[in-house]
Structures are given as C-alpha cells and as structure tokens.
Amino acid sequence: MPEVIFIVELPDGATKECYSPSSVVRRYFAAGEEMPVAEFLRRSRTALAEASERVRAKFGFGCSSAAAQLSEIEHWSRRYTHDAVIRIVSI
C-alpha cells in the first residue's frame, strides 16, 4: 500500500508534514490547492478514514497512524478560525 506524505502550509505560515497510509488522499487534496481550515478538516477526516479502511481491508485492522495523524490535524487546527486558509504545498 503506497504511503503518502503531504505538506500543508498553515494560516500563520508554518508547515506541517502529514502522513497517509494510502494514496487515496490524492483524491481529496492537490498541490497548490487552498481551502478554509473547516474544509481541510472535513476532507482530512474523510480521506484518512478511507485510507484506514483500505488498510483494514488488506490487513484486517485499521491504521492507527492514520487515526493519530487525524488527531494531530484536529489538535493544531484549533488554533485557527474555520475560515483561515490552509494551502497544500505538496502531495
């Protein structure tokens, strides 16, 4: 299963490296794309849940790394308003 690292630029200019156990995240994000924090959270929840389910289908258990990544995204996104902009630097 191809892992994907995607880098996001936060509203304050900081960057974060994010992990997905599956390339399915490429259906939800594209390099250079900008979106409000609320949209990024929605897509992250959907993409990482789908990625975890792909792991479950292949190995019989969900991906704890996908769950941990989502938890981390939810944690640092609380610092920003829902309409602040996040940019996908690379994927």
Cα–Cα distances in angstroms (integers) from residue 44 to residues 30, 49, 59, in the given order: 13, 8, 22
The per-residue pLDDT for 23 is 94
CA gap 58, 60 in Å, rounded? 6
Per residue in 40-59, pLDDT tens? 999 999 999 999 999 899 99
**Strand ordering across the sheet containing 4-9:** 15-20, 4-9, 85-90, 34-36
Task: Indicate the number of domains in the chain.
Answer: 1
The per-residue pLDDT for 30 is 98
pTM of the model: 0.91
Decide if pLDDT at 71 tops 70. Answer: yes
Decide if pLDDT at 1 tops 70. Answer: no
The per-residue pLDDT for 38 is 97
Decide if pLDDT at 8 tops 70. Answer: yes
34: exposed, middle or buried (Cβ count in 10 Å: 0-12, 13-18, 19+): exposed
> Residue 2: which pLDDT band, with cuts at 50, 70 and 90?
confident
- The residue range of the domain holding 59 is 4-90
